Amino acid sequence: MSDINANLYIGIMSGTSLDGVDAVLAEFDGSQVRLLEHTRRSFAPELHAALMALQSPGGNELHTAAVAAQHLARTYALAIGELLLQAGVEAAQVRAVGIHGQTVRHQPEAGYTIQLNAPATVAELTGIDVIADFRSRDLAAGGQGAPLVPGFHAAVFRAPFPRAIVNIGGISNLTGLPAVDSDAPVIGFDCGPGNVLLDLWAARHRGEAYDYGGQWAASGHTQLPLLAALLQEPYFERLPPKSTGRDLFNSDWLDARLAHHGASGKLGPADVQATLSRLSAATIARAQQRWFAQAQQVVVCGGGAFNATLMRMLAEECAPVPVMSSAALEVAPDHVEALAFAWLAREHVEQRAGNLPAVTGARAGRILGARYPR
């Protein structure tokens, strides 16, 4: 069989954590989605280094970004090839691939956001239609361009009771899902740092990409005065719609606050890691309690769901509302965002709006993305 299957889509996600590419093959049936296969590819060291360098201003950025985009596109194409091979599916059967791209700048107040990608290269290498550049149409309509996954959350995770979905990637974001019979709007916004500061601190002090399972943080103790100082960041009190990224929460942000607090060189690194973990948990919980207090469940997806210390702290901060992994809803935490971009690709193909204006602040729903034919 080589005819296109109108229900088969691939989703590709490489997030703020810069830890690699997640790819899923999904089959859609109305509002139902079935995961058929998944794969993951880590970034090559030179690509990771280039993407990290592009997170802040530097020399020869245009050339560096263009070369990194081509390298990234080839990484996406390899992930797609692996996915199809594992699933026993031909490229010609897949309706489209949805690719978020790699965010290197997010400045909605200045009217732009940049996700590195070379979608024409992916289409050429894979022989599949590619839908990309999802954020810019929402931005053009006056929105933040992010977060975009709440539309997918609303399509697949709504329940007879109010439920909050929290994605903890590099940045954490919250989706508030009213009960299925409610007319209330879905809400969503970026809460603040998820794993980004934890990963930064682990790399600096342990030479590790991340704090595996939160074990290092568990060996330290939350420093309440430092936590209080970190919580003074104005972003946390901003009204939604709002979105953020490494443009704000980066090494300069952390170092400035450690220095101002007088903590540089005085606190043990494990205590700082524990405090940063508590910061991520506290900002998520405060956002949920302030903007979606009616939630009867908090469901966590993204890499943070595998951090036992962060999950414990989040449960403490959200109590008495129960906190659980999206695995309890039979969707693996590390598959949710890639599935969301498969869904966004389908919404583009079907010419349906993919954004939620109540979430992004756009003037109205818009069809998101641009198509690069096979």
**Cα(107)–Cα(66) distance, rounded to whole angstroms?**
19
Asked, for residue 125, whether it belongs to a domain, the answer is: yes
**Cα(124)–Cα(162) distance, rounded to whole angstroms?**
43
Phi/psi of residue 136, each to 5°?
-65, -30
**Cα(212)–Cα(210) distance, rounded to whole angstroms?**
6
209 and 248: one domain? yes
Tokens standing for residue 286 = 């405060």
Asked, for residue 260, whether it belongs to a domain, the answer is: yes
**Cα(107)–Cα(125) distance, rounded to whole angstroms?**
31
Tokens standing for residue 109 = 């107040």
> How does 127-164 read in b/e, with b if 16+ C-beta sit within 10 Å?
ebbbbbbbbbbbbebebbbbbbbbbbbbbbbbeeebbb
201 and 92: one domain? no
The DSSP bridge partners found for residue 8 are: 27
CATH code at position 108 = 3.30.420.40
Give the other-Cβ count within 10 Å of 291's Cβ.
Answer: 17
8 A C-beta contact, residue 98 and residue 151: no
**Cα(278)–Cα(314) distance, rounded to whole angstroms?**
8
141 and 258: one domain? no
pLDDT tens by residue, 81-100? 999 999 999 999 999 999 99
Catalogue the E-assigned strands of the chain.
Answer: 5-13, 21-29, 32-41, 94-99, 102-107, 112-116, 130-132, 163-168, 171-177, 187-193, 298-301, 323-325, 370-372
206 and 309: one domain? yes
163 and 230: one domain? yes
pLDDT tens by residue, 32-64? 899 999 999 999 999 999 999 998 888 899 999
Domain of 128 in residue numbering reads as: 5-146+334-372
Whether this model's pTM surpasses 0.75: yes
Phi/psi of residue 110, each to 5°?
-95, 0
Q: How are beta strands 112-116 and 171-177 bridged, if at all?
A: unpaired
Asked, for residue 151, whether it belongs to a domain, the answer is: no
pLDDT tens by residue, 96-136? 999 999 999 999 999 999 999 999 999 999 999 999 999 99
50 and 169: one domain? no
265 and 309: one domain? yes
> How many domains is the chain partitioned into structurally?
2
Asked, for residue 132, whether it belongs to a domain, the answer is: yes
Asked, for residue 328, whether it belongs to a domain, the answer is: no
8 A C-beta contact, residue 220 and residue 206: no
Q: 72-81, 163-172, 203-212, 256-265: which has the minimum mean pLDDT?
A: 256-265
Q: Is the pLDDT at 164 greater than 70, yes or no?
A: yes
Confidence of residue 1 (pLDDT cuts 50, 70, 90): very low
312 and 180: one domain? yes
The DSSP bridge partners found for residue 190 are: 173
175 and 311: one domain? yes
98 and 166: one domain? no
140 and 164: one domain? no
| Average pLDDT score, the chain | 96
306 and 362: one domain? no
Residue 254's alpha-carbon distances to 58, 200, 230, 233, 248, in angstroms, are: 20, 10, 8, 11, 10
Asked, for residue 326, whether it belongs to a domain, the answer is: no
